[in-house]
Each structure stands twice: as structure tokens, then as C-alpha cells.
Amino acid sequence: MVLKDDPSLMFTNAGMNQFKEFFLGNSKPKYHQIADTQKCLRVSGKHNDLEEVGKDTYHHTMFEMLGNWSIGDPTDSSVGYFKMEAIEWAWEFLTEELKIDKSSLYVTVFEGDQADGTAKDDEAYQIWKRIVDENQILLGDKKDNFWEMGDQGPCGPASEIHVDIRSPEEKLKVSGKDLVNKDHPQVVEIWNLVFIQYNRLANGKLQELPAKHIDTGMGFERLSMVMQGVQSNYDTDVFTPLLSEIETITGCAYGKTETIDIAMRVIADHVRAVTFAIADGQLPSSTGAGYVIRRILRRAIRYGFTFLNTKEAFIFKLVKVLVFQMGDAFPELQKQDTLCENVIQEEEHSFLRTLAQGLTLLDQMIDKNKGNELPGEKAFELYDTYGFPVDLTSLILEEKGLTLDEKAFQKALQVQKNRSKDAAASQTGDWKVLLTNEADQFIGYDTLKADVKLVKYRKI
Ligand code: ATP
Ligand code: MG
Ligand code: MG
Ligand code: MG
């Protein structure tokens, strides 16, 4: 999941990342037909599902993407398989192996794009038409049904498979076809079949590839939901052991109150992302990929702190449950379990201290403040000096019937950003003014003044 050799990406966010060089034709695969499970993390860049996580029941930060692959060979057309096999096998796997009810599945086909001259994927349409009722086929646009690696290079149309797991009564009310790709929690995409058949040239034109490829991705947790006959990924055995441990530790019950449920889902989800990242070698830190992991963990801590009333470190205790569940399939978890626990516990301690300190200060600010609105500069002071998240400030103010002057907060933030840009050049030895360089490690504040803050850095 952690990528160390791809400057364009911090974490694997799709099953194809590791096969990129084969699709680009830069290297040859040992095997042309592959089936796998790939750990993915979608929290930044092109795929960022973070804000959905916990609020909905089917987007995770870290998830397993199951895939089957055919990597063509330009010198040998007998190698691999393409669209017909990929579609027929996907259908066979879902309906005959897994015995998913055929009438609950919907498939989508690329409708074409006049603006850039890309044709409708009629080939896929004709194949699907032989397999499923035409009523279950939908046309989709570029956003959902055309995949490109970048502005140039391998690309092609896709067919997504969606499943409708609503009750028969609900199905009578509205056709599942009308709910595909509409963020309905029980009509969800489970599998994406990408037919890599073109090469996008620098002038934007498409050229048929001499060797075509198949790239498919299916969400393991969503498939588990379908197979286990439940209505949410969190009701599958991927998540129930984690949720029951959270219930035991916090004394809160899952399934009764929306805010508590969201917090529990966030924590169950995020502990997986953070533990898998640490086991893969990415520790939380104050810069780059490490900071992404730290932020995910802090998000979980904050949800616990605010909604489950957890004032002591507890997320680290979930690592045991996760390792017990997933350790056989992912031995790296077993090997690193103590490290994962210790790192998470330490992060929790330190962020809980920040939260406690910030809360005391915020209370004092609220006491002193006249009127119903807290000045944005005050919230900025908490954020900037104590790392106290501004959304938590807003939340606490809201609970007390107060508001925050968000505009003033944003203004102060912008002033600081500009200042740190200006400060980029003003470096003296191992000391620097403000956070400027990702390769510097933050080791503490020196002095605090109203206008300039001296921050201590060690060169690394
Ligand atoms: P969605 O439209 O639901 O966001 P997607 O089209 O972004 O999904 P793809 O990039 O096509 O997803 O990924 C292939 C498969 O991976 C999806 O069909 C889905 O089953 C699964 N998947 C995608 N994103 C997530 C996520 N954040 N959490 C869990 N599973 C996911
Ligand atoms: Mg998505
Ligand atoms: Mg989609
Ligand atoms: Mg998709």
C-alpha cells in the first residue's frame, strides 16, 4: 500500500498502480494473466474518499481491491484475453460462482464523447446484450466509464457492475436502474472492468493499442456485504469484530445513534488504514506521506474524543483484533503488531494532550468573549500554536450555541501561508523561520511573537 518508488503517488490507490510499467510497455510481465488482491488507500489526490468515510457505509480509506488482469504482448496476439472474456467471466463469477441474483445486477457501458471523438463502446454493449436484459444496461459518461492513466498514454472504456441489495418492497417503489451511481447506500458499484485499448497521443487523438489489456477492480468489502446478505460494509465480518471491541472499550452501542455510529465507523475504518500503513513501513510523521497517516489517525482520535467520550488512548487496543482477523492473509501485520500498537498509542497520547490543552484554552476564550461569535483570529491561534483542529473548534462552539468567524480564520491562515512562502529563503544554519521545507523535521517552537514565529528544525 505504501509506495516508495513512484514520485507521482504516495499510496497505492488502485489495483493497476503496480502494473503501470507493463501497460506503458516499459517492461514485460513474468505472467500475462494475473488475479490478485491489492491493498488500496484513497485519501488524497485523484481518489479522495476521506470525507465520505464513516458517513456512508461503503467508502473506506483502506480497502482491498480484487482484480483480474490480462497484459497483452505486441509481438504475440495469442497472449492474454480481452473484452469478451473479461465480461463473460465477470458475469459467470458473480452469478454462477457467487450465485448473486441476476436481476439485482446493473451494468454500465461507455456512451462515447463527441467533444473528444471517442466512440461509444458498442462492442461491450453487444456482449452485455447477449448476457443481460437490456433493461439492466445503462450508458455512462467519461467520468464513470472511461479510464485514463494521465493526459497521455494507455486508456479505454470501462463497464461497471452495480448491485441492488434493497428489500423486495423497496425495489417495487423505485427501479434500481434509476439509483445506479446516485449515492444510494444499497445500490452500489462492486466491480469495474476496464478495457485498455487505446493510446492517447500528445495531440489528444486516440490510437488503437497494438496490445490490449484488461484491468478489473472489485471492492472486497462491498462484495462481502453482498455475500453476507447485510446492508452495510460495516455489518460484515470485516468490521463487526472491530466495532464490538469499540463497544466494549467505550461502553457505547453501535446502531442506535447516528453520530455515535459515524464515529465508530470512522475509528474501525481508520485503524485499518493506519495499521496497514505502519506495517508497510509508513510511520505517522509531520511531513509528506507520514503526515497523511497522522491526519487519518487524528481524525479517528477526534471522533472518539468528541462523540464516544474517549479521553484516554484506546485505538491501539484494536490492533490485536485486526491482527487476529487479517494476520493470516497479511503476515506483515503479525510481524509488526507490537510496533503498530506502540506507535498508535504514542500518537494518541500526544494528540489527546493537544486536545485537552486546546479545550481548556478554548473555554477561557469563550468565557472572555463578548457576543455570540468567536473571532477567527482566536481559532487560528489555537490551530497554529496548539495544532487544535478548526473543525473541532466550530463543533464545540456550535454545541454551546456560538459561531465562529470563519472568514477571519481563513484570512489569518492565508496571511500565515504567504508569510511562510516569503520566509522560504530566510534560513540561518539549522534554524528556519516557519515551516517551509518538507525535508526538515519539526522539533519544537522556540519563541512566540505576534508577527513572526521562530520554529526549530533539525536538518534531516
Ligand atoms: P465509487 O463510484 O463507488 O466511488 P469508483 O468508481 O471510484 O467507486 P473504482 O475506481 O472503479 O471505484 O474502483 C474499483 C472498485 O473498488 C469499485 O467498483 C468498488 O467496488 C471499490 N471501491 C472503490 N472505492 C472504494 C472505497 N473508497 N472503499 C471501498 N471500496 C471501494
Ligand atoms: Mg470513487
Ligand atoms: Mg464509480
Ligand atoms: Mg468505478
The string of pLDDT tens digits covering residues 64-111 is: 999 999 999 989 989 999 999 999 999 999 999 999 999 999 999 999
Count CB neighbours of 172 within 10 A: 9
Q: What is the pTM of this model?
A: 0.86
Residue type, 206: L
Spatial CA neighbour of 274 closest among 424, 50, 93, 61? 61
Vertex 118, ends 131 and 176: CA angle to 5°?
40
Q: Which residues contact 42 (CB under 8 A, 6 or more apart)?
A: 13, 48, 49, 50, 59, 60, 61, 63
Helix pair angle (390-399, 376-386), 10° resolution? 130
Q: Ligand 2 centroid vs 407 CA: distance in angstroms?
A: 31
Planar angle of CA 416, 417, 421, nearest 5 degrees: 115
Q: Where are the alpha helices (DSSP H) in 43-141?
A: 83-92, 122-131
Cα–Cα distance, 48 to 89 (Å, whole number):
30
Q: Decide: 10 and 44 in contact? Cβ < 8 Å.
A: yes
Supply the residue whose CA is at minimum distance from atom 10 of ligand 1: 14
The protein residue with its alpha carbon nearest to ligand 1, atom 31, reads 219
- Which of these, 231, 81, 213, lies nearest to 158 by C-alpha position? 213
Distance from the CA of 47 to the center of ligand 2, in angstroms? 6
Question: Where are the extended beta strands (E) located within 45-186?
Answer: 47-48, 62-70, 105-110, 137-140, 146-148, 153-164
In 134-171, which positions are buried (b, 16+ CB within 10 angstroms) versus exposed (e)?
eebbbebebebbbbebeeebbbbbbbbbbbbbbeeeeb
| One pLDDT digit (tens) per residue for the chain, 460 residues | 998 877 778 999 999 988 988 998 889 999 999 999 999 999 988 889 998 999 999 999 999 999 999 999 989 989 999 999 999 999 999 999 999 999 999 999 999 998 888 899 999 999 999 999 999 999 999 999 999 887 888 999 999 999 999 999 999 999 999 999 999 999 999 999 999 999 999 888 899 998 999 999 999 999 999 999 999 999 999 999 999 999 999 999 999 999 999 999 999 999 999 999 999 999 999 888 998 999 999 999 999 998 999 999 999 999 999 999 999 999 999 999 999 999 999 999 999 999 888 889 999 999 998 889 999 999 999 988 887 888 889 888 988 899 999 999 999 999 887 776 654 433 322 322 233 334 444 344 433 333 333 444 444 4
First to last CA, the chain: 25
Q: Is 426 left (phi over 0), alpha (psi -120 to 50) or beta?
A: beta
**Ligand 1 site-directed mutation target among 145, 192, 296, most atoms within 8 Å of CB:** 192
Q: Which cell numbers hold the place of 192?
A: 469495474
Q: Are 279 and 239 in contact (CB under 8 A)?
A: no
User: What ipTM, to 2 d.p.?
Assistant: 0.99
**Ligand 1, residues at Cβ distance < 6 Å:** 14, 42, 49, 59-60, 63, 65, 189-192, 217-219, 221-222
